[in-house]
Structure 1
Amino acid sequence: MPLLTPTTFFVTVITIINSLQAFDLIYLMVGKDSPAIPASETVVYLFYSKGILQGQGGYASAIAFVLLALILVITLFQFRMQRRWVHYV
């Protein structure tokens, strides 16, 4: 079991980053003019909406920067916590 901890750590880091960047599946399921958009809006869809659809490039770049900072903080936290439970042989 200890040999699986590096793989488990890698999978959790990549999964959390991908979950914060979810856009394509939600956009395809909900669509562009659906009334369900506010209930299923993600940070990346908000970025797309403000930057592409509404033409507010500055606001969209601020959203992208906050998303980058959030992913960086979560990843750094995971790397700090991996010292406790990831065992390399």
Structure 2
Amino acid sequence: MEIQERLGSLDDANRVFSYAVINDDAPAPFTDYLATVNFRSIADDACEVDWSSEFQARGMAEEDVRKIIEGAYRGVIRHLSRKAEAG
């Protein structure tokens, strides 16, 4: 089983996109997941990432699910940062 995502919107000019988890049987402690990711320039060679989401917790307290999701965001952002620095 895997998580299936669908791109909801993409705005290249403003560096924003949104996506949703589309399979109800996703191996995750949430349903109705919708996220928006916004990259904002803060310098010529740096940006800030605002990654937010809405979801319904499933089988766990909402705060625990939020911690899991935020940890995943931090991991992805850290990975992207390392790749960008490596060129």
TM more than 0.5: no
User: Greater share of strand residues, 1 or 2?
Assistant: 2
The structure whose Rg is larger is 1
If the length of structure 2 is used for normalisation, what is the TM-score?
0.40
If the length of structure 1 is used for normalisation, what is the TM-score?
0.39
